[in-house]
Each structure stands twice: as C-alpha cells, then as structure tokens.
C-alpha cells in the first residue's frame, strides 16, 4: 500500500541569469508559468499535500497561482536546497513520503515520477548524458550501489568524468528526511545545505538508495537563462505536436505549430504552418485552419474553414462557416451555420445568423444579423457613443449596401435594403429600400488652387514659398 504523499516544490530562486524583473518560476512556457506546469504534474499524482517553498517575489508567485490547492512556505534566506526542504518539513507528518520537485523543471511527467512515489527508502531520478557539466554526479561503489551525490564544484577530476547525473528529483520517507536535513552541514564549495547530502546520510543509516533512470533526460531539463527557456519551449512544443499527431490531428508542419493551452478535436482536422492555439480550443470534424491563424478560447464546429492569418478569440464558429483571410473575430462573436466573414472584417459581441455574409472591409460590433443577410464592403455598425455601447439588429435576408454606417441603436427589418453610402440613424422598415445620403452637386468651372496656371497634376518639386503671412494647405 502506498504511503500518503507530500510534494515539496522548490521555487525560491531569484533567477538572476534570466535578466528579468519577474521571479524565475513565473517565466512563461507555452503560455503558462513554469511553476504552473510543475503544479499540474504534482497534482496529477494525487498527493495529500503540496508545498511550494518560495523566496524572491513570493507574494507575486503566490498571487499568480492562487487557484491551486497548495501550502506556501517561505524560505527567508536562500541557504540551499536542503534548507528549503527543511522549511517545509514541519508541516508534513512522519508517515508521508516526500517527493521533491523544482519549479524550474517543468517537463517531467507524472509517469516518470510514479515509480519514485511508489518506492521505498530514498529514490532519486538519474540520467546519463553526453555532457554532464553543471550537474551533480551519482557516485557508486564497486558493487554498483549508490553511495553519494557530489556537486560539480566539490567533485575531483575522476568524479567529474562520471556521466551519470542527478536530476535533483527525489523521494524519501518524511521521518528519515527530517532527521537527515537536521544533520546537514554547509561545509562545501558553495557554503550551502545540499539536499543531495541525504544520499550519503541514507547510506550511513542503512536506508536503501535507488537511482532510477529517466527514459528521456530532456524531461529533467532545468532552466536558468533565456537560452535554456527557449530550448525547453522547443522541446515542449515538439512533445505536444507528436502527441496531437498520434491522436489524429494533422499538423502540416509540426515544427511550426504552437500550443499554449489545450485543444480538443474531432476527425480529419488539419492545421497549416505557423498557427497558434491558446487557452481552451475545441475543433469539430473536418475543420481546416490555414496558415498563420491564431485561435484563443474558442469553438470551431464541423466543416468550418478558416483562411490565412485569421484571429479568433472567445468566439464560436458554427458548422460550415467560412472565415478570412485576415479576419478578426473578437470576444462574444457567434457565427451560425454557413455564415461567412471575409477579408479585413472585424466582429465583436456580434451574432451572424445562418448563411449571413460580411465578406470584406466591414466592422460588426454589438449586433444581431439575421439569416442570409448581406453586409456590403465598408459597412460599419456605429455601436459606441463615447459612453455606452448600443446594439444594431438586422433582419433576415436584409441587404446593406457598401459604405453604409448603421448608427446604433437601430433596427433593419427583414428583407430591407439599405442603399450604398447610407448613414442610418433611425429604423429601416422591412421590405423597403432606405437611402440616407447627401445629393451630389457639380460646380462647373472649378479649378483646384494647386493647378492654377499649369496643366497636368501639381509638382511639389517647384512649389513657390507662401506669401507673407500666408499658410500653405
């Protein structure tokens, strides 16, 4: 039977090498903080307790993760990893098994950690790497048993040649760990209390020590600067792209796909290069997303097609809709079945009924557009009076001529036609043509001042200076 588990996440480092005012564990990976990835992994293990040891920027770190069920433990002075664990131990019962994770090691998976949690004695996660520089070395005796971990700064030349490294992740009984942490010494090259000294203490106490190898050393990659953050981001995106491909989502160029959240999808969906999915995204069956599209917290239903460089945020796209290219669907947009939103069209808090069309150069904000209505190029719903938003309602089968301005609040009846260039300030009745524009006038003999005394278009290169007191237009 597995002992109750307490997870301790070390997140107190300042992260000076990040060159950032933000605490290191708040740096973003795939749109979320490093620490949030580690917390999700920890909670997936079903622990009784999760403790986060914080230091630099602790209030900011805690506020950013207020929704997580964790205990926040302050490490007032950063005196090493052993000291950090010791700060959390008073809140952990002796019968618990303690798993130690790091807030800047975000790629490790629950499957990799399960054996450590289920084990006995002291178990640590190890890896073999071509270049062990910077890592603590796992030292074994002649029989192959683990006897110590030696940090690089304290290692002799022979120990530095060892390619088996400690990832820093380990699990041990709380009662034993409490005893070992109390006996730590800071007599080392860094003058710190090392958590890794628990290995030698366990050996001295006759407690079994086991080093388990991770199948993917990249899972244990730590982040200390922006170069490593970029490398881990690439590794994360590769891993997620492979997972999605295996699940049936066709990524045309998986190396040029970015996921910053979660995506659910049906069958036969395809995503072209350079697309970004953020937050919670749901795709139906037979959805095609063209190059450069950004989807954020939205639903795209069966058979929809999104053209290149479309941006959709907090919107719902119905079955068979056609969007873009270069369209922007802002929060609150709902497109019903077969609706079309074309190039350089922006919508916000708008509902387009089945088969409605706004194909080019149009703004539809705070509006209800009926079924099969057609909005001509350059149509604008003037929804904001400087203080309040107002709604526009357009009936079924209405036709809005190009260049029209609908000054809300205003209603256009079913099957109404609005003449091109109309500025509509009152309701337009159903089954009628409404036109509201100035009558054109022609003034014979008019000559532009810039053309006086010359033929052809004006030439700025030989313009004469303005006379005294005159102002050039």
Measuring CA to CA, which residue among 195, 105, 192, 112 is closest to residue 148? Answer: 195
* pLDDT (0 to 100) of residue 471: 40
Q: Which residues pair with 344 in a beta bridge?
A: none
CB 62 within 8 A of CB 39: no
**Distance between CA 320 and CA 78 in Å, rounded?**
57
Residue 454: its pLDDT value, please?
57
Evaluate the omega torsion of the peptide bond into residue 409 and state whether it is cis, within 30 degrees of 0: yes
pLDDT at 459: 52
The model's pTM is 0.87
The sign one gets for the Cα dihedral 87, 91, 95, 97 is: negative
3-state secondary structure 397-433: CCEECCCCEEECCEEECCCCEECCCCEECCCECCCCE
Structural domains of the chain, ranges and CATH numbers in brackets: 5-220 (3.90.550.10), 248-434 (2.160.10.10)
Q: Which residue ranges of the chain lie beneath pLDDT 70?
A: 452-473
- CA distances to 122, 136, 198, 306 from 149, rounded to whole Å, are 13, 6, 9, 54
At 56 the pLDDT is: 74
pLDDT at 130: 86
360 in catalytic set: yes
Identify whether 325 is preceded by a cis peptide bond (ω within 30 of 0).
yes
Residue pair 382/405 in contact by the 8 Å Cβ criterion: yes
Exactly one of 51, 65, 96, 360 is catalytic; which is it? 360
| pLDDT at res. 465 | 45
- Euclidean distance between CA atoms 18 and 16, whole angstroms: 5
Residue 132 has φ and ψ, to the nearest 5°, of -85, 5
């Amino acid at each position: 039977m597995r002992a109750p588990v307490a997870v301790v996440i070390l997140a107190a480092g300042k992260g000076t090498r990040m060159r950032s005012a933000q605490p290191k564990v708040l740096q973003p990976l795939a749109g979320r903080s490093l620490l949030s990835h580690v917390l999700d992994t920890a909670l997936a293990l079903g622990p009784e307790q999760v403790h986060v040891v914080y230091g630099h920027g602790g209030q900011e770190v805690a506020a950013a993760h207020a929704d997580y069920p964790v205990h926040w433990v302050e490490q007032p002075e950063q005196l090493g990893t052993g000291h950090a664990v010791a700060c959390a131990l008073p809140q952990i019962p002796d019968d618990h098994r303690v798993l130690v994770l790091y807030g800047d090691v975000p790629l490790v998976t629950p499957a990799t950690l399960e054996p450590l949690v289920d084990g006995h004695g002291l178990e640590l996660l190890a890896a073999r790497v071509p270049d062990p520089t910077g890592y603590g070395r796992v030292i074994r005796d002649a029989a192959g048993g683990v006897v110590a971990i030696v940090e690089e700064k304290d290692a002799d030349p022979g120990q530095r040649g060892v390619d088996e490294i400690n990832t820093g992740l380990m699990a041990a009984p709380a009662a034993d760990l409490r005893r070992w942490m109390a006996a730590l010494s800071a007599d080392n090259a860094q003058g710190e209390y090392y958590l890794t000294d628990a290995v030698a203490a366990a050996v001295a106490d006759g407690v079994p020590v086991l080093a388990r190898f991770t199948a993917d050393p990249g899972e244990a990659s730590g982040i200390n600067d922006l170069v490593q953050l970029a490398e881990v981001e690439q590794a994360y995106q590769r891993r997620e792209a492979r997972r999605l491909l295996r699940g049936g989502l066709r990524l045309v160029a998986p190396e040029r796909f970015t996921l910053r959240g979660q995506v659910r999808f049906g069958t036969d969906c395809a995503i072209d290069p350079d697309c970004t999915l953020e937050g919670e995204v749901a795709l139906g069956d037979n959805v095609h997303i063209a190059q450069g599209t950004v989807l954020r917290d939205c639903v795209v239903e069966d058979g929809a097609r999104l053209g290149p460089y479309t941006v959709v945020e907090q919107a719902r796209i119905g079955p068979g809709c056609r969007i873009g290219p270069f369209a922007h669907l802002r929060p609150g947009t709902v497109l019903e079945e077969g609706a079309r939103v074309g190039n350089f069209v922006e919508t916000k808090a708008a509902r387009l009924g089945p088969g409605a069309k706004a194909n080019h150069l149009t703004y539809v904000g705070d509006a209800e557009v009926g079924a099969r209505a057609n909005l001509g190029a350059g149509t604008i719903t003037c929804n904001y009076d400087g203080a309040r938003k107002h709604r526009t309602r357009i009936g079924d089968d209405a036709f809005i001529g190009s260049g029209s301005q609908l000054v809300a609040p205003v209603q256009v009846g079913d099957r109404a036609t609005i003449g091109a260039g109309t500025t509509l300030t009152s309701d337009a009745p159903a089954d009628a043509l409404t036109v509201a524009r100035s009558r054109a006038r022609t003034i014979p003999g008019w000559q532009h001042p810039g053309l006086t005394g010359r033929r052809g278009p004006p030439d700025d290169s030989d313009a004469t200076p303005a006379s005294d007191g005159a102002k050039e237009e």
